Amino acid sequence: MRATAGSLGHVAGCGWFWAWALVGVGYGLCISVIGMFTVIAATLAVVFMTRRRPICGAFGVATGVGSVLVWIAYINRSGENFNPVHWLVAGLVLFFGGIVLHTWESR
């Protein structure tokens, strides 16, 4: 199978999407104690990622934040402290919303 210019563009776009998703995880973790470190790192990543290239795949931030919310829902799945369904719904909407919006933007 030969790689075409279109497929290489797709792979690069997905790479940027997942890089932005890591930034989203950093921002999503701001609700925890380690958030004071991850927000600083995520903000520095945004500064370096937007310096000299167009912003590509920035909907990955929503996917990253959504993955943190799904993780919080999973941790609290027993329902002893609070109902995790609210975290799960918000997380799934953000996670899949970021993927769908990135796909829509790429076309």
Q: How far apart are CA 26 and CA 61, in angstroms?
A: 9
Instruction: Determine the pLDDT at residue 10.
Output: 61
Distance CA 83, CA 74 (A): 11
Q: How confident is the model at residue 53 (pLDDT cuts 50, 70, 90)?
A: confident
Give me the helices (H) in 3-84, please.
5-28, 35-49, 60-75
- Lookup result for tokens 């903000």: 43
Side-chain-facing half-sphere of 16: CA atoms under 13 Å: 19
Query: pLDDT, tens digit, for every residue of 83-96?
Result: 899 999 999 999 99
Give the length of the chain.
107
